[in-house]
Every structure is written in C-alpha cells, then in structure tokens.
Chain A
Amino acid sequence: MSILSVRDLSIHIRDARPVDGISFDIAAGECYALLGESGCGKSMTALGLMRLLPAAAEVASGNIDFEGRELLALPESGMRDIRGGGIGMIFQEPATSLNPVLTVGRQIVEALELHSDLRGAAARARAEQLLDQVGIPDPKRRLDEFPFQLSGGLRQRVMIAIALAGSPRLLIADEPTTALDVTIQAQVLDLLDELRRTQGMALLLITHDLGVVARMADRIGVMYAGQLVEEAPREAFFARPAHPYSVRLFAALPDAENRGGRLTTIPGSVPAADVRHAGCRFVERCGEALPACAATLPPWRAIESGQRVRCHLPGAAPAVAIKVGAGDTAASGESTPLLDVSDLQVHFPIRRGILQRAVGAVRAVDGLSLRLMPGRTLALVGESGCGKTTAGKAMLQLIRPTAGSVRLDGNELTALSTQELRPLRAKMQMVFQDPFASLNPRLRIGDIIAEGMQALGVAGSPAARIGGLLEQVGLRADMAARYPHEFSGGQRQRIAIARALAVNPQLLICDEPTSALDVSVQAQILNLLSDLQRDLKLAYLFITHNIAVVDYLAHDVAVMYLGRVVESGSAAEVLRSPRHPYTQALLAAVPRVDGVRGDAPKLAGDMPSPANPPAGCHFHPRCPLADEACRREYPAQRSFGATQLVRCIKAD
C-alpha cells in the first residue's frame, strides 16, 4: 500500500524543464532513494512534493497522491497541515536551516504547537523527549541553547527532531549528510534508519552518494536530466545495474581495486534543463547508443523482481571494462624528501577586550610532521576542523606558521621573506576545493593561466604555453579567450590545475579538489591527476576526507586529528590494517557500495574545539579504548610494520 504516489510530475521554469514527467510510489515505512548527479532535478522534485517551489517554477502537469489526497488540488491552508504534519523535510545544510536567534527548544515547540494540541510545559516536555529520541545528550540543557552552540551533527539532529515534531508519515531528506563528516554522517544515517523502523515512517532520501544509498535504501530511483531512468530494489540494483548511466556511475567510483588504473568516466555533462529531447536523454554520453536511442524515448521495460529501466538496449547494459593503466606511478627509491615538514604549528590568537590582548589560541595545527617524496602522493586525511587545510596553506606560506619548519627541496621556507620566497613559489602550487571560487570571474581563462607565469617570470611564449597547458588538461587551446562562467565545475577544476601547472611545479597541494564535483566528473579529474603525475613526475599532497579517493590515488597516508597526525604510513598499511582507534572508526564510518558494515565501533560525539584541546591524547573523550593513562599525556610515536607510525599507547 503506497503512502505517496507521484504520477507524471512535470515542473517547468519558463522554458526549462528540471523535472519532466516522473512517476514513483513510496510504501509506508519504506526508504526510497532518488539518486542522481547535481542538476538532474532531485531537489526540485522534493520541493514540488511539498509545493514549496521557487516563484519562477510551476507544476505543469501530474498528480501527487499522499494518503489518498491529491496534493496539487489542495488549497494552501490544507497544504499547511500536510507540511510538517504529513510530510516532514530536512535539508542539506544544518548551519542555515535553523533560525540563529531562537533557542532550539523554541523552534521545536513552534512545530509542536502547529501540529498538536500540546502547549506550555507539556510541549516543552515533548520537545525534550524528541531531542532525547534523536540521540542528543543532556536534552534538558540543549533546549535552551542556541543553534550556534551546537555542532553540525547536533544541528542536523535538531532538524530531524523538528521534522519529527509533527509525527509525519513521510520524511523527505534532501542530502541530509552531505555537509557532514563521515563519522557524523554514520551517526545521522543510523538515527534515520532507526526512526524509520521504530516509527514506521517512510523516507524519501535524496542523494548523490551510492554509499549512502547502499546503506539506507529499500528501493532506488535513478534520475537523469529530469527523468527517472531506472527503478530497482536495492539488492537488484547493486548486483546488476541495468541502465548504462547507472553502470557508469558504479564504474566511476574510485576504490582500491582500480588503483593505478584509469577510472571510467562519463564523457560530457548532464544536458541543460531547457534542451528538448526526442529520444533518450543519455544518448550523447552513452557508449552503446543505437540509432533508435536518439529518435524515440525508450519505454519502461521491466526486467525482473521489480527492477525496471528506460533503455532501448536489449538485456542489461554490458559492464564497462576497467582499463588497467601502467600500474603504480610512484617513482620510489629516492631518499631525499621533496617536502619535509616537522613540528609545524599554526595558532590563531583569540583576542578579547578593549586592548585586544591574546587570551588564548586556536591551535589549528599543533605539531604536524610529514615527509613527501618526489613523484609520490601523500594523502592528508581528516574530518573538517582538524586543521588539514590550514596545514596545506601554512606549507605554502599563504598563512605564516607560528612555529616549526617547512623544507622544500632543502630550502627552509619559514625563514624566508616574501621576496625571497617568490622564486620558490614556482616549485609548489595549490589546487583549491571550490572551482567556482578559485577562478576570478572577471578574467579570461588565458589571463588566469598567464598570471603565475608573469608573476614568476616563466620563460617562453605565453600564448603557445597557455594553449599547450589547456590541451594537457583536456580542454581546447581556443578556450583561452573565454570567461570562467562559460565552463562547468569539472572544466573549471581543469583550468585551475592548468594554472598551477603553468609555473612547472614539482609539488601540487590539492585541497579537496573533487569534493565539489559529481562522481563522473570526479573520475575525470582523478584520471587527469594520475596522468599528470606519470608524465610530469609531480608530487601531490592530497588533502581530503574522501577515503575512497585516498584508496585509489595515494601512496602514503597521514591521518590528522585535532591539528596533529595520529597515524601515518603507506596507503596499504594504514587503510588495510589501521592501528589507531580513530583511523579504525573513520574507515568503518565510510558507507560502502557493497553495503557491508564495518565492525569497528561507531564514534560518539564530535571533535573537540582546537581552542581547548583535551589533556593527554586528544582523542580520548571519543575513544572506546581510553583509560587513565590516555588522559595523562600525549602518546609518543610508535612504529609498526615497514612504514606505519601511530600515536596511541593502546595500538597493537
């Protein structure tokens, strides 16, 4: 018995059709996942269900049947009972979905008063109960706190508590964990799963993450360019994805098995929403397209056991062969490190009072040591707030370190003045996280790439060199005259890489270079980075929280927690036999595509503030193994295996 039944829903924004005739059903207590890359219409569908579309968008046709009521025919006042009371919704960004000037309790009580008869003390008691239900410790105290006093994970729990206040029968979760760290993501996903089971609440999960889908969903709908292209139960989908797009999504995922090889990429990008399609929307990016694909829209075809697919191809799409590349690209054997960081510290003073006296310091990086050999990739892994980005910038001297030493090719950088540093800047460059913020929108691509060459006086004809660089990163030389806004996210990231390469660096610090990109585009960028490493013998310091990318790309791994490296060593050793309890928990928290759950204990709580780190081992408040000795002093470094260094007295 389906609780929600959507038929032929189309949403138009002027000429664009972000959602174009989608139909699906959700049964009571079921978790249905809408899977797709950015821009394919997932969020627009969710907003359409709630009738909360932006002003320019309108529902052009279709029916939305919720518990026997036609939502599109309801008056706005009737819709208000449905919102919150029938269908709850939680959003991606916990930082902005709570009102910063109201206490948590006030915001939950507001939802309770709207959807129940509870008032005053009774409502407050119920709010406390809800906070307790979503696993917030000490709920009585939290009721009177403001959102800024809570961490991201706690805020998302509060959002869930507010959504639960109306006892909805269906909860729409729009990328609920995308903005959260993996350990927090695991906590929130567990919570959602438990609520679904105990309350019998249906869940519409909107996500781009195959791992989250594998962990949560009962059934999956794959969206592409405003349409559903495949619908299947979880087991069938992960065993035999049927649509060529689904197949490629799996093949584009980086992991240890295709390490050293090339990832399968999907050429091109999702077509714009205002393009009209006669046939299949995926035809331009599909390797197996038949003549019929471009001409007629493929009908739904049932395969087996509830799986259905919109594709002309007879039978399931062929599995995409993974081409194995030249093998490990590491140029090992050299013994002098290109980058040698020891005891790096970056402290930001906390100033108070009229005289702006420093009363303390945020120890963003607090004694970080690592070495990177030429031509190799070192991944710096950690959750947000652990100081990895600050460490990267401090190594580049974009932020001057408080103490410690950074040696690049034997030169001590921390002692140099800005002028003396300039010639060395050509040897190390940075690729930033957000390709939309890292290119100046007012400059042409050619000028952006030429900037470093001019500043550092790189010899040779700039025009020819810019053309060559653009081709090297997979763009066309004639694109130099265009402006950044004409390019997609993946193309912009290629431009950012070309800009860094323009000065012939030996070291590239990549700060989450793929975290803002879709899976298929991420694969293109990772392929490009490994090609460049092979051809140019580049060394990468790869700052990331994405363990799958690390597994695919990195030779060495350093795991950071609260400003310090807690475990380091070769990728094989650290990722296969992690010894630090934090590394173990981090790896176990990553949702896996095969749905297998790690058996390591789940981490409770959040990372402490770097302004006030715990005494002794920083990890002890969250560590399942911690005892009195851990609280006394920071553990010394212990060596395991060939390369593994661990800072934990309990490790064995």
Chain B
Amino acid sequence: MIQPVLLWSDALLFVLIAAIVALALWARRQEPLRAAWGRVLKDGVAMAAATVLAAFIVVGLLDSLHYRARLDAKPGEPVRYAVEVNSALDALLSDLRQRSEKTYSAPLATHLYAKEALGDSAQRDFPRLRHGGTHLGADLSGHEFDVAMRVSRGCAGGVALWLVLAALWCRHKRISLVATLKVGAGGTATGAVFITLLAIFLLLGIAISLGGGYHVFGTDKVGQDVLYLSLKSIRTGLLIGTLTTLVMLPLAVLLGILAGYVGGWVDDVIQYLYTTLSSIPGVLLIAAAVLMMQVIIDTHPDWFATSAERADARLLALCLILGMTSWTGVARLLRAETLKLRELEFVQAAQAFGVGRFAIMRRHILPNLMHIVLIALVMDFSGLVLAEAVLSYVGVGVDPSTISFGTMINTARMELAREPMVWWSLAAAFGFMFALVLAANLFADAVRDAFDPRSSA
C-alpha cells in the first residue's frame, strides 16, 4: 500500500529518542539521579511545561514517519509510488493540506482577503473561498452562530476526551478525580499534568471542530492553511534543537574536559580553537557553510531520490554547522568546572592510586559535570530553535521547501508591509514558537534547580 521512507533526520531522531529512553531507564537505577528527577516530577510548573513539550514532541514524531503513497495503476503494470514524500501527520491533516485556497484569507473567513474580478463583470469584489465556510451556503447570516457552535462542540469534545482519560487514570490508581488534581500519586505533580492536558485537549477540540469548516489561522499567499504550516514547523524546530545539541555536546564535553584536566599545550590548543571560532561572526560562518552545502547538493542531483531528501540533507547540514559553531560556550563552562574539580581531593586520591588520566576523567570528572551538561543541553535547545528562525529569516537556514518557523516569519516580513496587513502567519508562528520555547525554558529551569547540589541537601 505504501512505501516507508526513512530520511536521515528521521533515523537520527529515533536513535535519539531510543537513547533518551535508555538513559531514563539507567537513571532510574542511579540513586542521586533518581532523587533529582523526583524533584522535577514534584514541580508543578515543570510538569506542566513537560506536558506541553510532550505534545510538541508527539506532533514532531508523527511528522517523522515518512512514506510514499502508492499510485493507482492498472493491474499488470509495475508498482509505482508517488514522488511526494508525506508523513503520518500529513495523512492525519490531509484535509488541511489539500484544501488550499487561491491566496490570503483571514482566520475563520468565508471570503478571500483580496478583491478579484468576479466572473466576466468589471466589478471587483472579495470572492468566496473554495473550502472555508462552504457548508454555510449562500446565506452567511449564520456565520457567527456556526463558529460559536463549533467552538462549544469542540470544547465539549475536548472535555469529554479529558474526562475519559482522567477516569481511566483514577481507576488505575484507585483515587478520586479531586485527589488526582490536588496532590497526585506519590507526590508527583499529576494535577498540573492533567490541568495542562485539559487546556491542550480544549484547544485540540476547538481546532478540530473549527478546522472541519474553516481555516482556523487563515491561509498564506499561495492559499496554504497556516495551521497546517505551523504544525509542520514543529518538527523542523525540534530537529534543529535536538540534532544540533547532539553534534555540539560530544565536542563540548570532550574538548572542555581535556582542556581543563590535561592542561598545558592541550589546553592552549583547545582554547585557541574556541577563541578563534567564537570571534568569527556566527552568521557569516554559517552562511558560508550553508551556501557551500547548497552547491554540493545542486551539483549532485543523483544523490537524492526525492526533493524531501534534498531538503533533509540541507537541514542536517545546518544542524552540523550550528553544532560546530555553538560548542564553544559549553566547552568553556566545562573547562572552568574541570579546573575546579581537578584540584579536589578525590581526584588527587585517585592520582595517588596511579589511576590513569582517562579513567579519572571518565569516573571522577564527567559524572560531576553531568548537571552542567544537562542544563546546557536544555537551555541550548530553546536558543537553537530561535537561531533557526533567525537564520531562515536571513535566508541561510533550511531549504525553502522545508516548512519552518523561520521560513514562515521570512514570508510574513513582506505581508506585514502589505496594506491591509496580513498578520496571521506571523501571529501563528509566534504563538507556536513562544509556547515551545517557553515550555523548554521553564522545564530547563526546573531541571537546573533540581540538580543544583545546594538545593538537594
């Protein structure tokens, strides 16, 4: 029926998820780590942020299950697949994806945002949309009522879904709903999770209910649904945030610890390297590298079967380059901390036993740096999501065919100058990005507090 497609970025994302699950299982057995994460679990704000993050991750994962649909063919002919690579999210949102209009339309509108010559008459007016509000027919007096009805139906659906979930949870834990919302089981802030879930389900219900008949966030210049674009941008943002960290972290950890522990000429070389790197303007370096990558992609069209793979290659290249330029800050931090740890007596005790350098770095230095690594990791994530937006805005970010917050904002730049102004693409991108980055930052704050040795006494 379909042919699954595994893009490089998908593979890396799944490996990353597997690694995180494995790490979580390992951390469960480590007493201090479990205690620290236990403090995160008890923190209401952190758990609410984690719930929002989880919702984003679910969308991103759905968008990473790629496939090529099978084309209808006469019996006997060889099986052929579509050129277009779609994801599970595309399949779920096929309505949104396919119901495109001619050009701009405002959120929940029934008419286009630009006047056109109607039929053969010379009069210009706003034409009706092809999909938005068609169920209303010619009589538009029921528009507001219909929207209100759909919103209330969506709310009801969201609440119903939430109640079912909450009831299942309460049955499983054998406690009342009120108890769940108050304290939660074992001090875990389940109350915060459920309240956040309620908010998410309400928004989801409203979006589904309204999305059936209207463009919730309007349409863009070529008539694509902005809600669909926003949802598709999530994967790009998440990928840039996580894969870049994956590139950056080993470099930062290895070089930071080496510089701090070994010292001498090794320290000099590494310091020279990162001082040089961080004194070159980042955007300049990234622009040069991305353009080089683009040339390589363009001169080797045979490497890529589909345009999706080509866009994917550019995305990965961007992650790599961002990673190469952003390890310096963390490395500097780790070097300073290692310099401090190196003088501690337990390291000297190990030296007195003749334990080798690398064993000391692995057993004594690295575990005591993990809290910094973790904090840097989560903190950098939000910075990188924003960096992608900035780079794509400048034009050296992702492939123009890749949907991302950056490309959305880049196009919105022109729309804001238009009269009358088109504000909804920017607002939608801003809203989604704001929620993602805020959730990541709040979560990172809670993680940092939980791993702060001073607060764990």
Question: Which residues of A are interface residues toward B (Cβ below 8 A)?
Answer: 393, 396, 398, 418, 421-422, 425, 428-430, 432-434, 437-443, 448, 451-452, 455-456, 483, 485, 496, 499-500, 503
- How many angstroms from the CA of A441 to the CA of B344 in the assembled complex? 12
Report yes or no: B349 in contact with A432, Cβ–Cβ below 8 A. Answer: yes
Q: Give B364's nearest chain A residue, CB to CB.
A: A440
Q: Which residues of B contact A438 (CB under 8 A)?
A: 344-346, 349
Q: Which residues of A contact B348 (CB under 8 A)?
A: 393, 398, 430, 432
Q: Across chains A and B, which 10 residue pairs bring their CB atoms closest together, nearest first?
A: A438-B345, A442-B367, A452-B353, A432-B345, A422-B354, A455-B353, A440-B346, A425-B354, A455-B355, A437-B345
Shortest Cβ distance from A465 into chain B, in angstroms?
Answer: 15
A432-B345, A433-B345, A483-B32 given; A440·B353 CB < 8 A: no
Q: Which residues of B contact A430 (CB under 8 A)?
A: 348-349, 352
Interface presence of B176 (CB below 8 A): no
Shortest Cβ distance from A77 into chain B, in angstroms?
Answer: 32
Shortest Cβ distance from B23 into chain A, in angstroms?
Answer: 15
- How many angstroms from the CA of A464 to the CA of B353 in the assembled complex? 20
Shortest Cβ distance from A370 into chain B, in angstroms?
Answer: 19
A437-B344, A441-B32, A483-B32 given; A425·B349 CB < 8 A: no
Q: Which residues of A contact B345 (CB under 8 A)?
A: 432-434, 437-438
A440-B367, A442-B367 given; A429·B352 CB < 8 A: yes
Report yes or no: B363 in contact with A443, Cβ–Cβ below 8 A. Answer: yes
Q: Which residues of A contact B31 (CB under 8 A)?
A: 483
Shortest Cβ distance from B93 into chain A, in angstroms?
Answer: 46
Report yes or no: B368 in contact with A442, Cβ–Cβ below 8 A. Answer: yes
Q: Which residues of B contact A393 (CB under 8 A)?
A: 348
Interface of B is mostly: helix
Question: Which residues of B are interface residues toward A (Cβ below 8 A)?
Answer: 31-32, 344-346, 348-356, 359, 363-364, 367-368, 370, 453
Report yes or no: B32 in contact with A442, Cβ–Cβ below 8 A. Answer: yes
- How many angstroms from the CA of A441 to the CA of B371 in the assembled complex? 13
- How many angstroms from the CA of A432 to the CA of B347 in the assembled complex? 11
- How many angstroms from the CA of A481 to the CA of B78 in the assembled complex? 64
* Residue of B31, B345, B350, B453 with most chain A CB atoms under a 10 A cut-off: B345
A432-B345, A443-B363 given; A451·B32 CB < 8 A: no
Additional A-B contacts beyond A440-B367, A442-B370, A455-B356 (9; CB < 8 A):
A425-B353, A429-B352, A430-B352, A433-B345, A441-B453, A442-B32, A452-B355, A455-B353, A455-B355
- How many angstroms from the CA of A483 to the CA of B33 in the assembled complex? 12
Q: Which residues of B contact A422 (CB under 8 A)?
A: 354
Report yes or no: A499 in contact with B349, Cβ–Cβ below 8 A. Answer: yes
Shortest Cβ distance from B29 into chain A, in angstroms?
Answer: 12
Report yes or no: A451 in contact with B353, Cβ–Cβ below 8 A. Answer: yes
- How many angstroms from the CA of A496 to the CA of B348 in the assembled complex? 12
Report yes or no: B352 in contact with A418, Cβ–Cβ below 8 A. Answer: no
Q: Which residues of B contact A500 (CB under 8 A)?
A: 349
Name 21 interchain pairs, CB-CB below 8 A, sorted by A.
A398-B348, A418-B354, A425-B353, A425-B354, A428-B352, A430-B348, A430-B349, A432-B345, A433-B345, A434-B345, A437-B344, A437-B345, A438-B346, A440-B363, A440-B368, A441-B32, A441-B368, A443-B363, A455-B355, A483-B32, A496-B349
Shortest Cβ distance from B364 into chain A, in angstroms?
Answer: 5
Report yes or no: B350 in contact with A421, Cβ–Cβ below 8 A. Answer: no
Q: Which residues of A contact B453 (CB under 8 A)?
A: 441
- How many angstroms from the CA of A500 to the CA of B352 in the assembled complex? 9
Q: Which residues of B contact A443 (CB under 8 A)?
A: 363, 367
Q: Which residues of B contact A452 (CB under 8 A)?
A: 353, 355
Q: Which residues of B contact A437 (CB under 8 A)?
A: 344-346
- How many angstroms from the CA of A22 to the CA of B354 in the assembled complex? 52
Q: Which residues of A contact B355 (CB under 8 A)?
A: 451-452, 455
Shortest Cβ distance from B78 into chain A, in angstroms?
Answer: 60
Q: Which residues of A contact B370 (CB under 8 A)?
A: 442
Q: Which residues of B contact A421 (CB under 8 A)?
A: 354
- How many angstroms from the CA of A425 to the CA of B31 in the assembled complex? 32
Q: Give A425's nearest chain B residue, CB to CB.
A: B354
- How many angstroms from the CA of A421 to the CA of B352 in the assembled complex? 10
